[in-house]
């Protein structure tokens, strides 16, 4: 897809058509650019650029926070659209996929005709554009799509390996990152032609066993055939860069709680549980440390993950240092998200299920964990963590009175626990009540399948005629 996040935002908001749009951090903040529209790229804005630099380069740009739920919904619809042309669809990322259309030619025509059909269908369905590359291997597909962005259709053949491909810079090869490019440049190798012609002994001396893979990339043979299998993610995480560096542990713990809530909400949505918790702390000097712990058993509990992360944070000695960024991720993932037991653990699970249903219906900001929104020093938030008894509730989630104090209201009981404070809009309004229900042994049957992740395969001979959709 072409500038996918920005294109989705422009499709949702027609008034942004033709204007530079930057999706990522807030203006004046210290985040980074997730993506930029082509109007913003014309001003020099690039992905992963600090937001402050992007604002200086393009002060007239519209800066928007990312809405991943909207992007994921568009992605899912596009994958369904692609599968209408072939069942050989390999999803590489949220905005890129490979299609092997070898078996679709009799029904839809040659690859060029199929590419035109897909482009038109994408624009008609989502009002966004895509660039499509056609070639006998995935590497040639991707190169053909990249050099014909935006909204183009390109084709590279085996004959182009010793033709058009030779003129490209080595950075255009899929798999050649900044570090590899720097090492190649040090050897005087800046183009694909020079990489193709370089003595293998020279490449081996510099790259060891990777020399053969580099040579295969230069000859257009570095990637496996289209593989439609979807692989579950190895980890799920989130991180926050503070607007100002902080050394306040109360703020750090509140941020960890918010991150644990975000991460575990995504885990439950995908029907996954986790056993490993990793904490990431980046100081104002940009020195970064990580700490990891393993839980006794895989869990879907926000409380359990937050407590583990908080314990890791307590072990970090600040020594007067200020923190710039905090991140939390979970790994060692398991597909089985819940197992029915004879204790009261089902109550906590049912609570999370109810919270997830509220958020699915009214948005992720409709209800929050009390204590997760501690952002200013003037107000105190109630920390309504699920500690000890499993029949406590998330109360006062994101709700504050005029004095800045969040409602606490922890309730207890047998079967009449409620989520208090969900959707309260005024100081005098009544809190919405969502009774909990005991989950079935197959918890959350409506949970969608995991989002596709990139599948890394050992190189093998490619199938003929795949088409890259980027």
Q: How far does Cα 100 stand from its chain's mean position?
A: 25
Q: Indicate if the pLDDT at residue 414 is higher than 70.
A: no
State residue 469's pLDDT score: 58
Tokens in use for 457? 């395969």
- Span 93-106, average pLDDT: 92
Compute φ and ψ for 8, nearest 5 degrees: -65, -40
DSSP states of 145-188: HHTT-SS-EEE--GGGGGTGGGGSBGGGSTT--HHHHHHHHHTT
Q: Indicate if the pLDDT at residue 230 is higher than 90.
A: no
State residue 377's pLDDT score: 33
Q: Indicate if the pLDDT at residue 120 is higher than 90.
A: yes
Task: Return the top range by mean pLDDT from 236-240, 306-310, 402-406.
Answer: 306-310
Taking domain 235-337, whether its CATH number is 3.30.1490.100 is answered by yes
Given 9, 39, 90, 96, the catalytic residue: 96
Q: How far does Cα 45 stand from its chain's mean position?
A: 20
Q: How confident is residue 107, by pLDDT bands cut at 50, 70 and 90?
A: very high
Q: What is the pLDDT of residues 419-441, one digit of tens each?
A: 333 333 333 333 333 333 333 33
**What are the structural domain ranges in the chain?**
4-66, 134-231, 235-337, 340-441
Tokens in use for 324? 């710039």
Q: Indicate if the pLDDT at residue 133 is higher than 70.
A: yes
Q: What is the pLDDT of residues 316-364, one digit of tens each?
A: 999 899 999 999 999 998 875 444 444 556 677 778 888 888 888 877 7
Q: Indicate if the pLDDT at residue 458 is higher than 60.
A: no
- Span 400-404, average pLDDT: 30
Q: Indicate if the pLDDT at residue 454 is higher than 60.
A: no
Which has the higher per-residue pLDDT, 76 or 224? 76
Which has the higher per-residue pLDDT, 415 or 52? 52
Q: For the ranges 218-232, 363-377, 384-398, which has the lowest average pLDDT?
A: 384-398
State residue 470's pLDDT score: 60
State residue 462's pLDDT score: 39
Q: The CATH number of 134-231 is which of 2.40.50.140, 1.20.210.10, 1.10.150.20, 3.40.50.1260? A: 1.10.150.20
Give, as one character, the DSSP assignment of residue 87: S
pTM of the model as a whole: 0.62
> Which H, E and C letters describe the chain, residue by residue?
CCCHHHHHHHHHCHHHCCCCEEEECCCCCCCEEEEECHHHHCCCCCCCCEHHHHHHHCCCCEEECCCHHHHHHHHHHHHHHHCCCCCCEEEEECCEEEEECHHHHHHHCCHHHHHHHHHHHHHHHHCCCCCEEECCCHHHHHHHHHCCCCCCEEECCHHHHHCHHHHCEHHHCCCCCHHHHHHHHHCCCCEHHHHHHCCHHHHHHHHCCHHHHHHHHHCCCCCCCCCCCCECCCEEEEEEEEEEEECCHHHHHHHHHHHHHHHHHHHHHCCCEEEEEEEEEEECCCCEEEEEEEEEEEECCHHHHHHHHHHHHHCCCCCCCCEEEEEEEEECCECCCCCCCCCCHHHHHHHHHHHHHHHHHHCCCCCCCCCCCCCCCCCCCCCCCCCCCCCCCCECCCCECCCCCECCCCCCCCCCCCCECECCCCCCCCCECCCCCCCCCCCCCCCCCCCCECCCCCCCCCCCCEEEEC
Is 96 an active-site residue? yes
Q: What is the pLDDT of residues 67-91, one digit of tens each?
A: 888 998 999 999 999 999 999 999 9
Which has the higher per-residue pLDDT, 418 or 10? 10
Strand order in the sheet with 235-246: 235-246, 323-331, 274-283, 288-299
Which has the higher per-residue pLDDT, 122 or 65? 122
Q: How far apart are the first and last CA of the chain?
A: 5
State residue 225's pLDDT score: 77
CA angle 344, 408, 349 (to 5 degrees): 25
| CATH-assigned architecture of domain 4-66 | 3-Layer(aba) Sandwich (3.40)
Mean pLDDT of the chain: 78
Which has the higher per-residue pLDDT, 311 or 343? 311
Q: Indicate if the pLDDT at residue 112 is higher than 70.
A: yes
DSSP states of 358-369: HHHHH-TTSS--
How much is the CA Rg of the chain, to the nearest whole Å?
25
Percentage of the residues of the chain whose pLDDT score is greater than 90: 49
State residue 402's pLDDT score: 29
Q: What is the pLDDT of residues 259-291, one digit of tens each?
A: 999 999 888 888 889 999 999 999 999 899 999
């Amino acid at each position: 897809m072409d500038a996918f996040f920005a294109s989705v935002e422009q499709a949702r908001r027609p008034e942004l058509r033709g204007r530079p749009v930057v999706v990522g951090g807030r203006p004046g903040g210290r985040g980074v650019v997730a993506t930029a529209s082509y109007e913003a790229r014309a001003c020099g804005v690039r992905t992963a650029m600090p937001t402050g630099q992007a604002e200086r380069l393009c002060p007239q740009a519209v800066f928007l926070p990312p809405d991943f739920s909207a992007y994921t919904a568009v992605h899912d619809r596009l994958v369904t659209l692609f599968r209408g042309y072939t069942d050989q669809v390999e999803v590489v990322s949220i905005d890129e996929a490979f299609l092997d259309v070898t078996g679709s030619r009799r029904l839809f025509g040659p690859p060029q005709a199929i590419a035109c059909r897909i482009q038109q269908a994408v624009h008609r369905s989502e009002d966004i554009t895509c660039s499509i590359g056609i070639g006998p291997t995935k590497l040639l597909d991707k190169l053909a799509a990249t050099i014909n962005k935006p909204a183009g259709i390109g084709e590279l053949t085996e004959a182009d390996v010793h033709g058009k491909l030779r003129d490209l810079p080595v950075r255009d090869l899929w798999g050649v990152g900044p570090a590899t490019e720097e090492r190649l440049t040090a050897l005087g190798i800046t183009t694909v032609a020079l990489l193709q012609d370089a003595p293998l002994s020279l490449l081996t001396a510099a790259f060891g066993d990777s020399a053969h893979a580099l040579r295969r990339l230069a000859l257009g043979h570095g990637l496996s055939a289209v593989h439609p299998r979807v692989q579950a993610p190895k980890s799920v995480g989130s991180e926050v860069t503070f607007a100002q560096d902080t050394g306040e542990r109360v703020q750090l713990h509140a941020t960890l709680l918010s991150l644990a809530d975000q991460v575990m909400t995504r885990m439950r949505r995908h029907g996954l549980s986790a056993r490993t918790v990793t904490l990431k702390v980046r100081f104002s000097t940009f020195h970064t440390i990580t700490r990891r712990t393993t839980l006794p058993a895989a869990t879907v509990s926000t409380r359990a993950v937050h407590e583990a992360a908080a314990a890791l944070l307590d072990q970090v000695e600040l020594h007067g240092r200020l923190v710039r960024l905090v991140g939390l991720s979970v790994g060692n993932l398991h597909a089985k998200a819940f197992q029915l037991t004879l204790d009261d653990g089902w109550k906590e699970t049912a609570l999370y299920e109810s919270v997830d249903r509220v958020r699915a219906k009214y948005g992720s900001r409709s209800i929050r964990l009390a204590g997760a929104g501690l952002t200013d020093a003037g107000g105190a938030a109630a920390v309504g963590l699920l500690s000890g008894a499993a029949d406590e509730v998330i109360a006062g989630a994101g709700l504050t009175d005029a004095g800045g104090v969040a409602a606490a209201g922890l309730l207890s009981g047998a079967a009449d626990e409620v989520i208090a404070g969900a959707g309260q809009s005024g100081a005098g309004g009544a809190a919405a009540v969502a009774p909990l229900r005991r989950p079935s042994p197959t918890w959350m049957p409506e949970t969608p399948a995991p989002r596709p992740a990139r599948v890394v395969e050992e190189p093998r001979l490619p199938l003929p005629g795949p088409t890259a959709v980027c």
